[in-house]
Amino acid sequence: MEPAAQLDAVKHYTIQKLGTDLTGHGLDHIRRVVKMTKRIAQEEPVDEFTAVVAAYLHDTIDEKLVMNVKEAQDELREFLRKIDFTQDQITTIMEIITQMSFAKTLDGDRPTLSAEGQVVQDADWLDAIGGIGIVRAIYFGGKHGERIYDPTIKPREQLSRQDYRDLSHETIINHFYEKLLKIKGLLNTATAKKIAEHRQQVMLDFLDEFKQEWDSNA
Ligand code: ADP
Ligand code: NI
């Protein structure tokens, strides 16, 4: 199968898997991550095709979104084999999408990603910050019953992987301090770091305004 047809098939696979998602990992997220992957890939010495395929597929095996991660991975491997990806390509793609999530960077053992993986990770993480990031955090927090803000609950300094998934004491505002404001410093590529500067400021301005209004000072 030609690469263009492979990409088309991959796109349809993702639509079938995430088309009905309402957790903030829907097709709009995928579309932005793919577009950002292409934008960053133009500035970095990477294989754009591999990066774009991984961008499309990166959330189709996510532990939060599928019932059985191993089955989802097996199904994806089989699908890629059927549309003529080589074993090497499949290994490369699976390595990227199983190792790139933010949760994997917690507990002090951040996986080493390929150059293509670093680009897709940056594209995915950029979608968690800035204006879109603010909306996604609120959307996620609302869906999971988080409180908006509680000044008596301090942000957790060293977030473990277990803490990250423990939402019982989480507030939407604390999520900015525990994760979102840290993303800028964790990005891989110079291109993404540059894009993150404006988005960081948008979040800082938002938090500042929020707190002013919270105290009725604004
Ligand atoms: P990853 O898969 O990279 O670990 P997630 O899938 O957990 O990231 O996050 C998806 C989106 O939901 C992101 O925009 C993230 O910031 C947001 N999110 C994750 N956890 C929380 C939380 N506790 N409160 C608010 N938003 C959250
Ligand atoms: Ni994602």
Residue 77 CB partners (closer than 8 Å, separation 6+): 90, 94
Q: Which residue puts its alpha carbon closest to atom 8 of ligand 1?
A: 102
CA 140–ligand 1 middle distance (angstroms):
7
| Binding-site residues, ligand 1, Cβ < 6 A | 24, 62, 64, 101-103, 128, 133, 136-137, 140-141, 146, 167, 170, 172, 175, 179-180
Record the pTM.
0.95
Q: What is the Cα–Cα distance from 180 to 200, expressed in whole angstroms?
A: 9
Reported confidence tier of residue 9, pLDDT bands at 50, 70, 90: very high
Taking the CA of 104 as reference, the closest ligand is: 1
Q: Which of 63, 99, 102 to mutate to test the pocket of ligand 1 (most atoms within 8 A of CB)?
A: 102
pLDDT at 158 over 90: no
pLDDT at 187 over 80: yes
Residue 202: burial class (beta carbons within 10 Å; 0-12, 13-18, 19+): middle
Taking the CA of 134 as reference, the closest ligand is: 1
Which whole number is the average pLDDT over 178-202?
97
User: What is the average pLDDT score of the chain?
Assistant: 94
- Predicted local distance difference test score (pLDDT) of residue 163: 84
- Predicted local distance difference test score (pLDDT) of residue 165: 81
